[in-house]
Amino acid sequence: MLKEIQVTGNKDTRSGFGDGILEAGRKNKNVVALTADLLGSMKLNAFVKEFPERFIQCGIAEANMICVAAGLTIGGKIPFTTTFANFSTGRVYDQIRQSVAYSNKNVKICASHAGLTLGEDGATHQILEDIGMMKMLPGMTVIVPCDYNQTKAATMAVAEFEGPVYLRFGRPVWPIFTKESDFIIGKAQKISDGKDVSIFACGHLVWKAIEAGKILEEKGISVEIINIHTIKPLDVAAIMESITKTNCAVTCEEHNIIGGLGDSIAQVAAKNLPIPIEFIGTNDTFGESGKPTELLTKYGLDTPNIVAAAEKVIARKKG
């Protein structure tokens, strides 16, 4: 099954967002885009050109942007706030908690340049805590798509979804290997069937998990890879179906292992079927400036580390 996966192109996930919000805007006149002085970086140019009356430039005032978005929902608008992930969460957490989550406002918080693959901008911009911050907010849906197609599909889907959403995507050009039709909010995507180890991944690391899976299969290891694009609400049924079969798991995320996808998977296992789990992600550390792929390697988020984690967790299971 992994050998059949075809790369149909290479494109950044933030462009998937830009194309997705344009389509969403065409379908629904209530879709409104807001940005904090990052129109180009957030790929909003086409949307602004077609719908200039539905665009609000808030300037470098992210907290105000969140509050403006919350207010717009009262009039029936569907606001999409846009800036880097660090500024979408860490800078404005109080405003999100009080003005969006607490009152269950229909705001779509769209966050680009997340994780280590932001690259040369360095630790101050490479937020690695945002998934945890956002999934802890009651009622907040958290989505981390894996490629251009899935990000476009997710953007269009959240426009039709009622309630606050955190949509996280990235900066680097990345392989495209999914179909837009594969995405359903809250429904995990099974990439491959396997019986020896479950690999749960989100975002850019889904592709790294696929690369690792191909190497493992060449070694005679049967790998089940599941794309957990929706961190919350979590597809518990899909997780349980997989770990009941494999009895071990590896989790992969471009995020701190404290509070992210791995913690969510571990909680499901602890409640229902305790199994050995290995965690791929940053470990209680900030990032640094560097080339995206080199940073993934330095912090242990690359293909060889996923292979090693899978072999380790299988050995723990047998032990």
Of the residues 23, 62, 224, 254, only one is catalytic, namely: 62
State the pairing for strand pair 78-84/31-35.
parallel
State the pairing for strand pair 9-12/173-176.
antiparallel
Phi first, then psi: give them for residue 57, nearest 5 degrees: -90, 110
CA dihedral 273, 276, 279, 283 (to 10 degrees): 110
CA distance 1 to 9: 19
List Cβ<8 Å contacts ≥24 apart for 70-76.
70/95, 70/99, 70/100, 70/103, 70/105, 70/107, 72/32, 73/105, 73/106, 73/107, 76/30
CA distance 157 to 208: 25
State the pairing for strand pair 197-201/223-227.
parallel
SS3 175: strand
Residue 164, both tokens? 């606050």
CA distance 138 to 300: 31
Asked if residues 172 and 16 have their Cβ atoms less than 8 Å apart, the reply is no
Mark whether 53 is an active-site residue: no
CA distance 256 to 131: 9
**CA 189 → CA 17, 206, 306, distances in Å?**
19, 11, 19
Residues annotated as catalytic are: 62
